[in-house]
């Protein structure tokens, strides 16, 4: 999608399926662009850099939280859902982001954190005051057991019990994350109504959709039953780092409750008149794809769920892709996934998987060819590796808690680099909130757009996806792994695209399906041979003639 294609209200209202196969660029606002020299990225900085995203060819942006917050978890602890934190600017600055994005043909999705608030939110301050105020039931409060211990064995993702004692009410409150992030009580109708009003507030300001943080954490078991333990060989570290005892439980009762679906239906009904779409983040190592299917089934729930299968520590191999899509087909035959290799919570994939530039290019094309929507994380298109930070530089409470076995999320959150000849990469005129690694500077945006660069490759891959409806929203057939070679076809009425990827270090061959094929990549327009040699990390894409 080019810069000239302005997204006016009519265009936004007409394309009801814009999200299906869309490429969404994630902006972590603290680290994208600082406009005022305080070392922290802001909304005015986003306006300044939106042309970079439009030039890349993305369909939409997803902006991580910028709401008013004490920043204990860097914005994922909200103290006012309907205002902008002063460090990021004002509501007028947000309106400018939306206007500029739409001018550039980009839709705007924002990160709504509905499962919990900050303990500084006025709702929680009122709720904790006593047991009989109007919002007494807006959070999850419970009496202690007879011996004074927490009401259940539920654990926090950030370590320790998920229950925190409150002396005012002499009760425990639930927090699935930091103790300063109390969970809202979705069994209370007034809470649901208030959160639906939050969604309306932002939709009325022109947003095109939401990324829904921890979508399966909204509702807890109202009977407060204990989670069963997990045998050692079943502990999966996809949701929390391996050093975290959170992995020792089967999370049957603290999240992913059936009542959640009813709230999602209400949210979808609110979104429908605006032609808005949502992608829900499912945090569940045990039932992730099953929940994805449950939350995206039919046309009255969420459009997409954010899948974690490609965010793990092990490099995604050809057999692993087949395995993931077989599991997706079994668990969510009608579901729609949104895939990502990197985000603000995991080690950048170029480091995590130890990728060369050629390998990174192969994976970029793979992401653009697999069935589903796709998220790119800022800096991925430049090939930024994970930053190595000292303990003294850490800001993330998660890393500080579990250091050094788990170094936290700061290494993927360091500022974007825009200028190679500037020690802060052109991110800020001041001292950046996290250091800018010197080894990132040669990858800066101003020098990254030459022919043959990783940026140019991403740009071409996104353009290819836009040019071929089969790659955007077609069915996916014949997914096969033969050694390191992954092959499949994408099919939509009137178009069939054959895709083959050598995801390994040795040359391989692959046999094209029967028929006449015209090459799309790497040699556009040439006839495809029946047997194709693929060098290490080489990709072959062809359209049926």
List, by residue number, the catalytic residues: 213, 281
The rounded distance, in Å, linking the Cα atoms of 28 and 74 is 10
Q: Is 378:31 a contact under the CB 8 Å cutoff?
A: yes
- Angle 171-283-111 (CA atoms, 0-180°, nearest 5)? 90
Please tell me whether residue 6 adopts helix, strand or coil conformation. Answer: coil
| CB-based contacts of 168, cutoff 8 Å, min separation 6 | 128, 129, 130
Q: What are residue 477's DSSP bridge partners?
A: 489
Distance of alpha carbon 84 from alpha carbon 74, whole angstroms: 13
Gap between the Cα atoms of 223 and 242, Å rounded: 29
Alpha-carbon distance of 152 to 464, in angstroms, equals: 51
φ/ψ region of 259 (left if φ > 0, alpha if ψ in -120 to 50, else beta) reads alpha
Taking the C-alpha atoms of residue 336 and residue 218, their distance in angstroms, rounded to an integer, is: 20
Ramachandran area for residue 191 (φ above 0: left; ψ -120 to 50: alpha; else beta): alpha
Tokens found for residue 281 = 């983040």
Please provide the DSSP assignment of 15-33 as one string: -TTTTTT-EEEEE-GGGT-
Longest alpha-carbon distance in the chain: 76
User: Torsions phi, psi of 388, nearest 5?
Assistant: -95, 115
The torsion angles phi and psi of 260, rounded to 5 degrees, stand at -60, -35
**Is residue 4 classed exposed, middle or buried when 0-12, 13-18 and 19+ CB atoms within 10 A define those classes?**
exposed
- How far apart CA 539 and CA 535 sit, in angstroms, is 8
Q: Give the span between the Cα atoms of 395 and 383, in whole angstroms.
A: 23
Query: Which residues sit opposite 68 in a β-bridge?
Result: 80
Dist. CA 184–CA 539, nearest whole Å: 47
**Residue the block writes with tokens 């049957």:** 252
Q: Are strands 141-142 and 80-84 parallel, antiparallel or unpaired?
A: unpaired
């Amino acid at each position: 999608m080019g810069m000239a294609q302005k997204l006016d209200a009519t265009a936004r209202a007409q394309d009801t399926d814009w999200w299906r196969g869309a490429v969404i660029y994630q902006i972590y606002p603290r680290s994208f662009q600082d406009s005022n020299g305080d070392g922290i990225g802001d909304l005015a900085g986003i306006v300044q850099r939106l042309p970079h995203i439009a030039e890349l060819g993305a369909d939409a942006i997803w902006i991580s939280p910028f709401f008013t917050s004490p920043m204990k978890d860097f914005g994922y602890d909200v103290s006012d859902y309907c205002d902008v934190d002063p460090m990021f600017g004002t509501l007028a600055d947000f309106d400018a982001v939306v206007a500029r994005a739409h001018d550039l043909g980009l839709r705007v999705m924002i990160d709504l954190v509905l499962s919990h608030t900050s303990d500084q939110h006025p709702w929680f301050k009122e709720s904790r005051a006593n047991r009989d105020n109007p919002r007494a039931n807006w959070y999850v409060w419970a009496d202690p057991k007879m011996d004074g211990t927490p009401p259940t064995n539920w654990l926090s993702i950030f370590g320790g019990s998920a229950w925190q004692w409150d002396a005012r009410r002499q009760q425990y409150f639930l927090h699935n994350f930091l103790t300063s992030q109390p969970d809202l009580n979705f069994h209370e109708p007034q809470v649901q109504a208030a959160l639906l009003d939050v969604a309306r507030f932002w939709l009325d300001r022109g947003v095109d959709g939401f990324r829904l943080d921890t979508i399966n954490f909204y509702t807890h078991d109202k009977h407060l039953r204990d989670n069963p333990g997990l045998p050692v060989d079943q502990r999966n570290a996809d949701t929390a780092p391996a050093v975290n005892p959170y992995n020792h439980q089967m999370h049957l009762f603290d999240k992913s409750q059936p009542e959640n679906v009813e709230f999602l239906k209400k949210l979808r009904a609110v979104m429908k008149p605006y032609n808005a779409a949502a992608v829900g983040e499912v945090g569940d190592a045990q039932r992730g794809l099953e929940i994805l299917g449950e939350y995206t089934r039919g046309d009255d729930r969420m459009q997409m769920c954010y899948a974690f299968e490609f965010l793990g520590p092990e490099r995604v191999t050809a057999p692993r892709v087949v395995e993931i899509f077989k599991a997706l087909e079994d668990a969510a035959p009608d579901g729609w996934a949104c895939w990502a290799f990197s985000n603000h919570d995991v080690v950048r994939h170029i480091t995590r998987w130890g990728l060369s530039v050629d390998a990174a290019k192969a994976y970029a094309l793979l992401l653009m060819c697999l069935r589903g929507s796709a998220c790119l994380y800022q800096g991925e298109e430049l090939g930024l590796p994970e930053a190595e930070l000292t303990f003294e530089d850490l800001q993330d409470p998660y890393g500080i808690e579990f250091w050094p076995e788990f170094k936290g999320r700061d290494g993927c959150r360091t500022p974007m680099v825009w200028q190679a000849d500037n020690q802060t990469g052109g991110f800020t005129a001041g001292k950046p909130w996290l250091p800018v690694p010197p080894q990132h500077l040669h990858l800066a945006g101003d020098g990254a757009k030459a022919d043959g660069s990783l940026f140019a490759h991403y740009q071409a891959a996104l353009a290819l996806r836009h040019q071929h409806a089969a790659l955007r929203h077609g069915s996916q057939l014949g997914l096969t792994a033969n050694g390191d070679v992954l092959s499949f076809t994408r099919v939509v009425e009137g178009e069939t695209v054959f895709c083959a990827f050598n995801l390994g270090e040795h040359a391989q061959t692959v046999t094209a399906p029967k028929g006449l094929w015209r090459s799309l990549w790497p040699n556009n327009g040439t006839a495809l041979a029946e047997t194709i040699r693929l060098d290490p990390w080489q990709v072959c894409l062809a359209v049926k003639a």
